[in-house]
Structure 1
Amino acid sequence: MWTDSGIGLKTEKPHYHGHRDRLRQRLLEKGAESFADYEVLEFLLFGVNPRGDTKPLAKKLIETFGSLAEVFAASPDELKQVAGVGDAAASLLKLIPEAARRLTKDAILEQPVIDSWDRLVEYCTIVMAREKIEQFRLLFLDRKNRLIADEIQQKGTIDHTPVYPREVVKRALELSASALIMVHNHPSGDPSPSQADIAMTKEVKEICGKLGIELHDHLIISKTGNSSFRQLGHL
């Protein structure tokens, strides 16, 4: 494609300009679901590279990390190890999952948590499934099972998080919570509970029961799936 340079000469317009226009038009007409994973990244990178061809970098990111989800889960330092990714691109790519987290959290705040269980699991999956170390999260609920607080109580190693049942209950009392849901992730990808997980959960349930606090569930989240202690018969 050729364009007037303004001095009487014709210069060739970069080939990707028309491609960008076509992507934008497809987004408006068919929605983002019509995009391949690399096209999602390509489109996002337009904002930090308005004059360059972002398709090669988008494909390189998918190739390096293995999937779109893993690109978003990568740390800024990991992202910047890919040639062509600077602070601007790394910042943008870290903002996307945060936006998804906030949107999903807003959705579960609209109604009692136990009435929007699928959204709750989706939220926990977004914020925890691809964490590289274990983290133990507590969701505190009021008498109407609405979310009071969402807190990370502990972070551990790649396969262990120290959890202190009395600290869990102490925090519930501080917040005047009537119920809680425990959540932790398994970076290994296997959502099966360990014997230590089961024993700790039973101890928390016992202490909560004495104080009139309901332990609704303990969820284990991983990038391959999730498990519920209640559904498994451990509560």
Structure 2
Amino acid sequence: MNNRKTELETRVLSSKGRALFDHELIELILYRNVENNEVSEKLMKLFKSVGKVINADFHELKSVTGMNDSAIATIFSVRETLQRMLKEDLNELPVIESQKKLIEYLKVTIAQSTVESFLVIYLNKRSRIIDEYLQEGTINKSPLYPREIMKRGLLVGATAMIIAHNHPGGNVKPSQHDISVTKTLSLACSSMDIELIDHLIVTEKNYFSFLENKIL
């Protein structure tokens, strides 16, 4: 294992990280926590991409033979590090001027989840993030509770919000339910003097903006 670790580290240093295959990146991340490099190959075979490995939940990771709590904690730490880095970048500018950074953030936080996850981003009058609210659903449906969303918005003093959810199947086209829910929430926001700026649907590789497509 030590010889293998040295080999991977040498390739990383010589290429600034670009020389490794996806399963080798996972292997190097987990080298202290698992007994052999077959675990990383099992993870990639199950989840199909590095992003989905990093965003898998505890029970999904635990189901892979060879994964232990220490290895899972390492993966969770990598995910949290990525999220904090992107959040810091996003916080540098008003969100409405930083759509590219917002999409990057959403692709790490919810896009690669295996269940639909609904994220509400609350903004102040300077369009800076002041709070977030996450709801997780099933593989093809994410619950949306406008009453809870509006209540939280009022509690944190939000003047605007952006909502986003993922489509685990990979198709960013909104369903009729997505459109209906967005209209319902938009009406609720209007009644509370909170602007609903956009609804974004994200996948691992793409996104759909209700605002850009003139649905909102």
Q: What TM-score range do you get, normalising by the shorter chain?
A: 0.7 to 0.9
Does structure 1 conserve the Cα–Cα contact (< 8 Å) formed by 2:51 and 2:108?
A: no
User: Paired residue for 2:26?
Assistant: 41
Aligned equivalents of 2:46, 2:190: Cα separation in 1: 48
Larger gyration radius, structure 1 or structure 2: 1
Judged with a 3 Å threshold, the aligned counterparts in structure 2 of structure 1 residues 186 and 203 are, in CA distance, closer, same or farther, namely same
User: Paired residue for 1:204?
Assistant: 185
User: Paired residue for 1:24?
Assistant: 9
CA RMSD, Structure 1 to Structure 2 (Å): 2.2
Counterpart residue identity of residue 119, structure 1: K
TM-score by length of structure 2 reads 0.88
1:177 to 141, 144, 158: 158
Aligned equivalents of 1:36, 1:231: Cα separation in 2: 36
> Could you list the runs of 5+ residues in structure 1 that have no partner in the other structure?
1-15
Does structure 2 conserve the Cα–Cα contact (< 8 Å) formed by 1:48 and 1:88?
A: yes
> Within the alignment, does 1:83 sit opposite 2:54 as a pair?
no
Aligned equivalents of 1:76, 1:156: Cα separation in 2: 16
> Within the alignment, does 1:112 sit opposite 2:97 as a pair?
no
How many residue pairs get matched? 216
User: Paired residue for 1:229?
Assistant: 210
1:97-136 equivalences under 5 Å are 97-136=79-118
Does structure 2 conserve the Cα–Cα contact (< 8 Å) formed by 1:166 and 1:204?
A: no
- After the TM superposition, list the runs of 4 or more consecutive aligned residues in structure 1 that deviate by more than 6 angstroms: none
- Give the secondary-structure state (helix, strand or coil) at the position aligned to 1:232: coil
Does structure 2 conserve the Cα–Cα contact (< 8 Å) formed by 1:104 and 1:122?
A: yes
Of 107-116 and 79-88, deviating more is: 79-88
Aligned equivalents of 1:223, 1:84: Cα separation in 2: 27
Larger RCO (CA within 8 A; separation ≥ 6): 2
Q: 1:68-117 CA deviation, whole Å, 9 max, x = no partner?
A: 22322333333333332222222212322222112111211122111211
Aligned equivalents of 2:213, 2:31: Cα separation in 1: 46
**Alpha-carbon deviation of 1:224?**
4.5
Aligned equivalents of 1:230, 1:167: Cα separation in 2: 23
User: Paired residue for 1:65?
Assistant: 47
